[in-house]
């Protein structure tokens, strides 16, 4: 089910990105259209990355990228009380600050 959602979203993003590229290329002359398109995609990827990061807020890139897919390879340690856990927030003190260990 998650894979299907991911696929649907990926196709949707590809269709939207092609639409944006064509629209930009139609209205802006060649060398500048590329700059605009690249700028749009860079900020867009950044925005998507930020959105994905919200799920595992406070974690580094490695932890947030691996946590939705692999459930057993990464452990988190609460930065407030040091409890080892795999939840979004610490089950003991509720803090969302954690580090990967």
Q: How far is the CB of 93 from Zn ion (least distance, A)?
A: 3
Determine the size of the site formed for Zn ion (CB under 5 A).
8
In angstroms, the CA 27 to CA 24 distance is 5
Nearer to Zn ion, 44 or 96 (CB): 96
- Report the chain's terminal Cα–Cα distance, integer Å: 29
Pick the closest to residue 68 from 91, 86, 50 (CA basis): 86
Nearer to Zn ion, 12 or 93 (CB): 93
Q: How far is the CB of 82 from Zn ion (least distance, A)?
A: 7
List binders of Zn ion among 35-94 (CB under 5 A).
78, 80-81, 83, 90, 92-93
> 11 vs 6, 7, 8, CA distance in Å?
9, 6, 5
Q: How far is the CB of 60 from Zn ion (least distance, A)?
A: 18
Contact footprint for Zn ion (CB under 5 A): 78, 80-81, 83, 90, 92-93, 95
């Amino acid at each position: 089910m998650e894979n299907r959602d991911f696929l649907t979203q990926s196709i949707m993003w590809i269709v939207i990105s092609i639409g944006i590229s064509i629209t930009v290329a139609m209205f802006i002359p060649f060398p500048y259209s590329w700059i605009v398109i690249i700028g749009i995609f860079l900020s867009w990827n950044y925005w998507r990355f930020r959105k994905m990061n919200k799920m595992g807020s406070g974690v580094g890139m490695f932890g947030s990228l691996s946590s939705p897919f692999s459930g057993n390879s990464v452990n988190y340690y609460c930065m407030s009380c040091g409890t080892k856990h795999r939840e979004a927030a610490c089950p003991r003190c509720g803090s969302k600050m954690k580090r990967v260990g």
